[in-house]
Amino acid sequence: MTPRQSPPPVIRASDLARLPQEARAEFIARLSPEEAALLPYLWEFWARPEQLPPAGDWVYWLPLGGRGCGKTRTGAETVRRWIKTHAHVNIIGATADDVRDVMVEGESGILNICPQDERPKFVAARNRLDWPNGAKTLLFSAESPERLRGKQHAKLWCDELAAWRYPEAWDQAVFGLRLGDKPQAVITTTPRPTKLMRELLESPLTFTTKSATYANLANLPEAFAHKILRAYEGTRLGRQELEAELLLDTPGALWTRAMIEAAYRPAPPKLTRIVVAIDPPASSSERADECGIVVAGLSAEKEICVLADLTSQGDTPLRWAERAISAARRYEADAIVAEVNNGGEMVEAVIRQVDADIRVKSVRASRGKFTRAEPVAALYEQGRARHIGVFAKLEDQMCLMTPDFDRASAGFSPDRVDALVWAVSELVFAPADGSAIIDFYRRLASETKTT
């Protein structure tokens, strides 16, 4: 199979931009009023070559892209093209919010890229788009794989597949991709070296294109571009988030992708304890670190089960306290564990403002992040930890934790990992003051040598 890109139109926006000003003005002047009105919606004119569907006999088109490279626009425009000739073009997003806020109503979503006479009606109550030509697009969340069971598709747009919490959603999607004479799926995602992504990249049915963030800087707000570049440029994670490179395991990291894949489970066992752990930031500004919030439980077999990663950035202390308490209520946690190195008594006081009766355990870091994380990673090595779903950002941080970890070169502060470590420390190594962690780790290492 040798797919090729669709032939380019006579002229593209990028070609026009390179012409002298007089030539550009002449091009615009020749347009009729109708043509000028339609020009913003002429995707073949605006798109970069890698954003147009490839020709050839492919089943999966995988446009890998960095943040802000135009992946959403690529997926939405592909749906718009397909819907003209197919009645069953459906879409699947990582979450229901992503489907609504990004894929449908977002700035580059379906509703905003269609001219008025092509624009579908968003029937939110039915999770559906009704198109003027009678076609319908069903909207699915990858958080509910069971909703995909039995559904059929002629074409599919799947967004951020590498971050889907339940890989089973992809299995159900593929089972339903069977209508028409040429079922196809466009899969817009930032790459992560998950088992599913590796299988797709190696499949002879897949055609892959790649777009870096830099390719779309001219169309990005200056503040957004500056924020993303400042966070990731020059870092290993930046190669994934900006260059759309598939990062393999980091030498010396505490966790490997294989360890995390082995920990995956679609549902939790019976749990005897559940805690919500918080690693609060020092401030709530736009440039502040994330507020790590992780929910974890302990099974009757003494296995750690990670249930949720609710980490956020830019929240006020009251807001992250509300998020943590909401999680505690939802998961029926018996305690909130909060690191107080940055906030001292203020951290617990803020939580008490929201719920005066909830149990709060304050913990203080007395050792480095890597040292605190070592015994937690040991549980994964021994098969004593489970991830109830895929937690993409948390797992990325875990696989970058090395003995010489430096947040400046890594491109992030491991706040998600810190929250995970505090949750596990409370469940398995308590008291979580540091000493019990090290003692347990030494004992665990001794047991390993003995066995």
Which pLDDT tens digit goes with each residue over 48-82? Answer: 999 999 998 999 999 999 989 999 999 999 999 99
**C-alpha gyration radius of the chain:** 24
Confidence band of 134 (pLDDT split at 50, 70, 90): very high
User: Token pair for residue 176?
Assistant: 């339903």
Q: How confident is the model at residue 450 (pLDDT cuts 50, 70, 90)?
A: low
Tens digits of residue pLDDT in 173-193? 999 999 999 999 999 999 998
Minimal CA–CA distance to 174: which of 90, 99, 81?
90
Q: List alpha helices for 59-209, DSSP H.
A: 71-82, 96-98, 110-113, 168-176, 195-202
Sign, Cα dihedral of 158, 159, 162, 163: negative
Q: Residue 78 and residue 205: Cα distance in Å, rounded?
A: 18
What's the pLDDT score for residue 7?
A: 45
**How many residues does the structure list for the chain?**
451
CB-count exposure of residue 256 (10 Å: 0-12, 13-18, 19+): middle
CA 198 centroid distance within chain: 17
Of 70, 87, 265, 73, nearest to 167 (Cα)? 265
**One-letter amino acid of 248:** L
Which tens digits make up the pLDDT trace of 306-332?
999 999 988 888 999 999 999 999 999
d(CA 251, CA 247): 12
For 33, the enclosing helix (H) or strand (E) is: helix 33-38
- pLDDT, residue 257, reads 93
Contact 343, 291 (CB under 8 A): no
Residue 406 has pLDDT above 70, yes or no: no
Q: Which of 125, 120, 123, 127 is nearest to 147 (CA)?
A: 127
What φ, ψ does residue 444 adopt, rounded to 5°?
A: -65, -45
- pLDDT class of 356 with cuts at 50, 70, 90: confident
Tell me the three state secondary structure of residue 340: coil
Q: pTM for the whole thing?
A: 0.81
Cis preceding linkage at 431, omega within 30: yes
Strands (E), 252-334: 264-265, 271-279, 292-299, 304-309
Task: Give the H or E element holding residue 386.
Answer: strand 385-388
Ordered structural domains, the chain, with CATH: 4-241 (3.40.50.300), 257-450 (3.30.420.240)
The two tokens of residue 418 are 């810190």
Among residues 302, 322, 313, 301, which one has the least CA distance to residue 227?
313
Q: Across-strand partners of 93? A: 141
Residue 103 CA to residue 156 CA, distance in Å, equals 13
Over range 143-147, report the average pLDDT.
95
Contact 337, 315 (CB under 8 A): no
